[in-house]
Chains A and B, each alone.
Chain A
Amino acid sequence: MLSMKGKYGLKALYHLAGLPPGVMAQSIEISEKHGISKKFLDAILADLRHSGFVQTRKGRGGGYCLTRSPDSIMVGHVLRVLDGPLAPIHCASRTAYHRCHDCPDENACAVRLTMLEVREAIAAVLDNKSLTAMRQMVEDEKADLDEVLAAS
């Protein structure tokens, strides 16, 4: 499941992906626009900075921006940093693995085997969705809505 951290992190990146090249956004601006507490947002932005997705500049005109073009930043990659391995259940990850305490044999567990497949499907969607594609989806929705409104 997407945590609050993951959700707000994506919103912040979505915001940064919409900035013209060379422009930076302050965290207060992002926090007000998307209704995220500034303290929480700052913690998220710090994680995104450590993992190399955003960078900061102090002083006037400073703030946050992406480290590279938004079409090379994938949603799934960001979520691994904020939420850990993409896994719908703990035993479906090798690195953040926890065995369920009531599990006699994980290799024969139908739920786990199913969730392993789900995990691959999640990765396939999220790792192919760039920040640019995310913005495009919103644009397309808006255009559709405009069409519907214009037709009615």
Chain B
Amino acid sequence: MTLHVAIIGGGASGTLAAAHLLRRRSSPERLRITLVESREDVGCGIAYSTDQSSHLLNTRVHNMSAFPEEPEHFARWLERQGLSSGGGLEFVPRKVYGRYLTELIAAEPNASAVPRLRIVKQECTGLRPHEHGVEVALSDGTVLPSHFAILATGYCRDGRHEPGLDDPWSRPEKHDLAAPVVLVGTGLTMVDMVMSLLDSGQSGPIYALSRRGLLPQPHRVTKPLKLSTADIPIGTSLAYMMHWLRSTIRSHETAGGNWRDIIDGLRPHTQMLWRHLPHESRGRFLRHASSLWDTHRHRMPPASADRIADAQASGLLRIIRGHFQEAHRTAHGTNITYRPSGSREPLVLEASHAIDCRGFGRLSLPTKNRLIQSLLDDGLARVDTLKLGLDFDKHDALVDANGCSTARVFGIGPITRGSHWEITAVPDIREQAARLAELLLGTPGLNESAPRRETN
């Protein structure tokens, strides 16, 4: 019997899911994957479709292999492309990684008569799970019968954003380079935008605004402490956990180590920590600790850090601590109203334009992503308690409105953020892809029936 798997979304997550399925199946003729993606470029998604060379990966080459069991995979691919390899410690442009991902699923070495992977450039509009499989509805009205569907739809960005602010991922319009620009948010997206502005010759001031003005920490070569789950206070409240983290870092630094060794040592355990973090601690983490965590956990490459530091030193880049209130387009540009931290009086910044660099927040409902909205409307899915994405169980199976796991629909990547929190970087997504491939390809009881035929 042939196993049909439909993957919805061809960004990094969907591509990694496909690559892991293709790699595991021993008898090639018995697997069919359909990758459904509405955008033109498949494999890149929002992170790797940038065409700017100064948009670097924030993860070293040796952590970016698509396959955790073969850590050299990406480095070897780079060498084959004639792109020098700095021993795996370097940070390469994200667009290069996009090419790597695209090639992962493009070339099948033993291309048999029927390719095992098919790409369908359409929007998926709905799923209908039934006892033996799931029907995947596409925008042109066709229905794909399959055994399993994997939701790899990303952060559910649906084109809406704060009025007055520009979307960082859409192509910037030409602007007066001498006029000020405001970036709302001071995380990695802000770093990207500063790189773009510097590349384009911006000479007017760049204001970057966030509540605490925390910038991502720069990377250094680290020796991650090999923490075991046995060392970490799992299941404790956020306050206890943070206290433990601080004192562990303190004693490690007293012994001559670096805080990064601890943060990186925690990395393999973050999903488990999140799973056992009491619910109200999760909410508290998002409100009070996530920006501090993110700036230490998701760091910037040294080259970017140097440019940021230079821009700050020259006064071109100015970090402002304050609460963003509103952005308002005027005849000449955009006015940003914010309240400086520790003050009651709002101030206004006049800029040519302002870019939303606050990253990916919670799901805004109803969402314009028709698939997600229809799953919610039909009771096939529910939003996770923190509204970060949809609710999935510990095997990444979709949980329906009644709290029951759906045996036919799974999730991968940021859409599963509610269950894992740290599931946005490739080193985490690839592990999830490996688990999913193992689960789906090892599923017993698949032999009893073929998927339903098309219904229209």
Contacts and interface: CB of A to CB of B under 8 A. Distances in A.
Interface string B217-243: 000000001111111111111111000
A41 interface: no
Interface string A51-87: 1110000000000000110001110111011000111
B435 interface: no
A96 B238 CA distance: 20
A113 interface: no
Contacts of B281: 52
B234 A77 contact: yes
A50 B230 contact: no
A53 to B, nearest CB: 8
Contact of A52 (B230, B236, B248): B236
A31 B228 CA distance: 34
Contacts of B226: 94
Contact of A85 (B231, B235, B238): B231
A93 B231 contact: yes
A123 B279 CA distance: 23
Interface residues of A, number: 28
Which one of B226, B233, B238, B278 has the greatest number of beta carbons of chain A within 10 Å? B233
A112 B409 CA distance: 44
A68 to B, nearest CB: 6
B276 interface: yes
Contacts of B229: 123, 127
Contacts of A92: 230
A52 B278 contact: yes
B239 A52 contact: yes
B237 A127 contact: no
A3 interface: no
Interface string B279-304: 10100000000000000000000000
Given A52-B278, A77-B276, A95-B248, A123 B236 contact: no
A122 interface: yes
Given A68-B279, A94-B226, A95-B248, A50 B240 contact: yes
B227 to A, nearest CB: 5
Contacts of A81: 233, 236, 240
Interface of A: 50-53, 67-68, 72-74, 76-78, 80-81, 85-87, 92-96, 116, 119-120, 122-123, 127
Interface of B: 225-240, 248, 265, 276, 278-279, 281
Given A53-B236, A120-B230, A127-B234, 9 more contacts: A52-B239, A52-B281, A68-B279, A72-B278, A77-B234, A80-B232, A87-B230, A94-B231, A123-B228
11 contacts: A51-B237, A51-B240, A74-B235, A76-B234, A77-B236, A87-B230, A92-B230, A93-B230, A94-B225, A94-B231, A95-B231
